[in-house]
Amino acid sequence: MSDHTQNSSTSSAYHSKAQEHPHLMWQMFLPQYWKDWFLMLLVRFIILFPYPLFMKFGRFLGILCMHILKRRRKITEQNFRLAMPELTDTEVSDLVREHFANCGMGIFETAMAWYWPEKRLRRLVHIDPEQEKKAREIAESGKGIIVLTCHFVTLELMARIYGTYIKKGVGVYRPNDNIVIEYLQVKGRTRSNLYLVDRRKIKPIIKALMQGLPIWYAPDQDYGRRAAVFVPFFAVPDAATVTGTSGFARVKNTVVQPSYTIRLPDYQGYRLAIDDVLDNFPGDSETENAARCNKIIEGMIKQAVPQYMWVHRRFKTTPSPDAPSRYHDI
């Protein structure tokens, strides 16, 4: 049973707030939302400046947040120690600092994905011609595509770039309770794509795949014991991992295509990587399928370790409820 099926059966009281066509409402302009509008306008203003300039400011902002958000810094440190125990304390500290710098830049990369005109964005995009050709052939074949990816800080840009260069598709996401943020994220994410679906709603995802659309799917976060199998992820032998990838891959005429975007050094732009579709996937074992997806995602992360979202408690769920927390002092 997939994680989505389990969520549907155990969360009957859940009501999705996902919107395909968001619209402004008078409630969005109440005083409690003025801060959200101000920050959005400020970020939109900042990204009008030259790209290297505001990205350097993003680095500074991220490092500043590292000193303010002490709990997130501790979570990040613990994630590195769990995932890469061979690192020295100095190497962990360096990676944590670089990661927060990347998170700061990621704020403006999200704004670029939501608001930049296509002409300006294309100047920064690099794609291997052969990979682009193969991806377009698959996209034009009418097959449903599970775009297997992970939570890099550049994920918003990845969806925008893929939708621009390969094929418009559908995003799987978590609706936000803040009505202004929800409006902004749906408007931004559908700029170069079709619509979004709630990650806890299985039928719209299956429908999109049956219509031959790409679905962005990132199964690399910890959603709890009910929705998971326990398989290796980096040095952690039993990381809780969702099984939705293999569940959706069983939809007729659907393929799984790993893809991700990483930022190039020296502000040269972004590389969209699109790997070959997975052979013989899914197999009969959900555990083996999840382990295979984790290994693929590990390979993506190793291309740009600091650009991955390490600030979340990726290893919070243990196989046994009685096992000590991996974040017990955080």
Distances from the Cα of 307 to the Cα of 88, 152, 265, angstroms: 20, 6, 12
pLDDT at 143: 96
Residues of the chain where predicted confidence (pLDDT) is lower than 70: 1-21
Record the pTM: 0.90
pLDDT at 64: 98
Query: E strand or H helix at 186, and its extent?
Result: helix 179-189
pLDDT at 173: 87
pLDDT at 21: 66
CB of 229 closer than 8 Å to CB of 286: yes
pLDDT at 39: 96
pLDDT at 18: 55
Write out pLDDT tens, residues 58-96: 999 999 999 999 999 999 999 999 999 999 999 999 999
pLDDT at 214: 96
DSSP 306: G
List the one residue out of 71, 109, 13, 86 whose CA is nearest residue 307.
109
User: How many C-beta atoms surround the C-beta of residue 15 within 10 A?
Assistant: 7
Could you give the CA distance from residue 24 to residue 100 in angstroms, rounded to a whole number?
33
Structure tokens at 216: 């962005």
CB of 216 closer than 8 Å to CB of 256: no
CB of 309 closer than 8 Å to CB of 153: yes
Query: E strand or H helix at 324, and its extent?
Result: none
pLDDT at 17: 57
